Amino acid sequence: MFKGLGVALVTPFKGAKVDYDVLKELLFFHVKNGTDFLVILGSTGEAQTLSLKEKKDIIKFSVDTVGNQIPIMVGTGTNDTKESIKLSRLAESYGAKGLLVVTPYYNKPPQRGLIKHFETIAKSTNLPVMLYNVPSRTGINLFVESVKKLSKNPKIIGIKEASGDLEQVKKIIDQTHKNFIVLTGNDDQLYETLKLGGDGAISVTGNLVPKELKHLIMNHKHLNETDFIKYNDLHQSMFIETNPIPVKAALIHMGFEVGSPRLPLVKIDKKHDKLLIEALKKYKLVKHD
């Protein structure tokens, strides 16, 4: 269920409120384009600036809207284990199919604290848990040995590995059992991750080109690196500023009125927006002037 192309979905806003009409549009865009699963309330979804009520409403709306057409995974990780359990149980009660749980940010716990954190959350719910390692955002790296230990827990099904360290990716794949799912969180490392034996991605760029990225993943054994490299300019444009600033701007240029990010994030800088538009034109995602 959680292999292939997962897309870290943006949260659309209209003014100060979540725009459910546009959210519905985005959900069906991914159903139509064959996205394997969606991750809501992650970093790209600006979960840190959503209220608990908004999170509840987004989960319920997303699950009710797409039903069994596409699995919904919910980002429920915080830097408070108790709060993460609360959100995980909430996601389960609304019909989510899985949980994405990030390493606790700011606290900087030791590895034994990280292991205990994930094990405690996994024990609290019937849903499968996917680990999420993104040191650039959290200030802490989940070591290979810790992932290896956690992979033995039947409730913990895999990892979104976004350390950017391909040697670490290789070790995780080599040292965990064959059913443990390894997804890259770095779009520009998709080819390398698949070549090492990984299972796909949880993607930001997939907000824009889900059909194309799914094709690459499904057919990677018959494709070569150049087929993947041709999307690198688009991947890089998604991080010209802090995610999700560029991807929200890109979606607006493509006709999805997702609104601006919430403070402390802001609209894309004008000079970066010009570069973003040029990248979108290159991939025929917006019309040429």
Q: Which residues are catalytic?
A: 132, 160
Euclidean distance between CA atoms 44 and 157, whole angstroms: 22
Question: Is 205 assigned a ligand-binding role in the annotation?
Answer: no
* Identity at 149, one-letter amino acid code: K
Residues across the chain: 289
Question: Is 202 assigned a ligand-binding role in the annotation?
Answer: yes
Verify cis geometry, omega within 30 degrees of 0, for the bond prior to 110.
Answer: no
3-state secondary structure (DSSP) of residue 180: coil
Neighbour tally for 85: CB within 10 Å: 18
Euclidean distance between CA atoms 166 and 163, whole angstroms: 8
Which of 89, 152, 173, 129 has its CA nearest to residue 2?
129
Neighbour tally for 175: CB within 10 Å: 13
Q: How far is CA 118 from CA 41, 151, 167, in A?
A: 18, 11, 23
Euclidean distance between CA atoms 145 and 82, whole angstroms: 25
Euclidean distance between CA atoms 74 and 188, whole angstroms: 23
Give the helix ranges, DSSP H, for 124-244. 135-138, 144-150, 166-175, 190-195, 210-218, 225-229, 232-237
Binding-site residues sit at: 44, 202
Residues that constitute the known binding site for pyruvate: 44, 202
